[in-house]
Amino acid sequence: MSQRVLTTESGAPVADNQNSATAGVGGPLLLQDQHLLEKLARFNRERIPERVVHARGSGAYGHFEVTDDVTGYTHAAFLGGIGKRTEVFARFSTVADNLGGADAVRDPRGFALKFYTEEGNYDLVGNNTPVFFIKDPLKFPDFIHSQKRDPFTGKQEPDNVWDFWAHAPEATHQVTWLMGDRGIPASYRHMNGYGSHTYQWTNAAGEGFFVKYHFKTNQGIRCLSTEQAQEQAGKDPNSHQTDLLQAIERGVHPSWTLYVQIMPAADAADYRFNPFDLTKVWPHRDHPLQRVGRLVLDRNPDNVFAEVEQAAFSPNNFVPGIGPSADKMLQGRLFAYADAHRYRLGVNHTQLAVNAPRATTADNYGRDGLMAANSQGRYARNYEPNSHDGPAETGRPLAAPLPVSGHTGTHAAPQHTKDDDFYQAGELYRLMSEEEKRRLVANIAGGLAQVSRDDVIEKNLAHFQAADPEYGRRVREAVEALRED
């Protein structure tokens, strides 16, 4: 086989890739050396803005196969029959740290899936926890600022972290998850994934149901203690990336079983707490898990930058039969995620290979913009309606309409009969074994004891006390002991 020829970006052959052109032997470089200038200019532009959150991530391809009939609840084609298979791309990530951060840290993990369905791409963007710290997207920038690097010190500050949580009592449930034994997964393969938000399914008859997604790992849950994580992060900051890559390369394909909780839409208004509140779970005794299918990851990306860093997930990428709910955080993310990718990758990021539909073709009137590649030919029009057989609307909504009422305004979340910020955090605490409680208290106290303001400490202690008196007492005693040392 003949040797391939190295070329410039324009396709011209490169004569010498080892020596720059100079004015005589040993002389200064020449501005006319197009290959040198092009090579350096491209190198300077190899990086793009990293994600503000979920910057550090890993990804893999695979498939989702339906194992149980759910056609009574949704008419989504990729869920339309037992044995149905759909290609999937998954991205796992930490949340708070930068692109160069370690994998083995106490932080929620992103669990994002792109289903390449025949009706378009469906993106399901969640975490490895079923709840989150806040319930209103207006708080999201402030929350993330409190968890990221301080503008002055340049590092994460316990004062900032716990000060925000002190003023966000709804975070108590997620803090209990984060500081518990599942706060540091041993690998991406050994953690569950959750849609976290409440979504809507609609069946062929137009009936609406609210659903929550649960991806249960078939590898079993494995987590690290704080001490194990510190050791792991020091030995291999890329531990989760290494584990996922090597497992798939050696043919050990990680898998998850998808279950859903289903609530008839008519039941939502009178449920004992707000079913669209991201800080709360639906108890399984109310809405048992129903199996749907199996997710398998079996192929690594060929290029991490092109396929993982440039992968763009947005929860507003729905397909017929699936839609949003009144979950405020989900509503905010319908805009924020897509807008983040327009900023990072450009308005045409959906044309990149990892983001483009695979089982169908995108056909619309979007044109031009940076890196546009969809001219669609001289006869294609860029407006609608038209008289030239361009793509037309279907008139069929993706999901059932959501009822609305009342006056516009900045309203607090509606109160249901059992709504509060602490009950479910207490329930989670009371489910733990004595050893799990001991580790949870130690993890919380280890961070809270570093806070410099007594009033911030007291506000947080009051949250744990409200969740469970024993929980609050033990955290208080542990914090006081650490501060006396």
Catalytic annotation, residues? 54, 127
Of 469, 409, 478, nearest to 441 by C-alpha is 478
Here the tokens at position 253 are 């394909």
Name residue, tokens 């509606």.
414
**10 Å Cβ neighbour count for 44?**
8
Can you give the three-state secondary structure of the chain, one letter per residue?
A: CCCCCCECCCCCECCCCCCCCECCCCCCECCCCHHHHHHHHHHHCCCCCCCCCCCCEEEEEEEEEECCCCCCCCCCHHHCCCCCEEEEEEEEEECCCCCCCCCCCCCCEEEEEEEEEECEEEEEEEECCCCCCCCCHHHHHHHHHHHCECCCCCCECHHHHHHHHHCCHHHHHHHHHHHCHHHCECCCCCCCEECCCCEEEECCCCCEEEEEEEEEECCCCCECCHHHHHHHHHHCCCHHHHHHHHHHHCCCCCEEEEEEEEEEHHHCCCCCCCCCCCCCCCCCCCCCCEEEEEEEEEECCCCHHHHHHCCCCCCCCCCCCEECCCCHHHHHHHHHHHHHHHHHHCCCHHHCCCCCCCCCCCCCCCCCCCCCCCCCCCCCCCCCCCCCCCCCCCCCCCCCCCCCCCCCCCCCCCCCCCCCCCHHHHHHHHHCCHHHHHHHHHHHHHHHCCCCCHHHHHHHHHHHHHHCHHHHHHHHHHHHHHHHC
What phi and psi, each to the nearest 5 degrees, are found at residue 293? -175, -165
Contact criterion met (CB below 8 Å) for 283 and 418: no
d(CA 195, CA 130): 7
Distance of CA 331 to the CA centre of its chain: 15
Instruction: Report the alpha-carbon distance of residue 169 to residue 112 in Å, rounded.
Output: 27
Separation CA 334–CA 399 (nearest Å): 15
C-beta of residue 461 within 8 angstroms of C-beta of residue 476:
yes
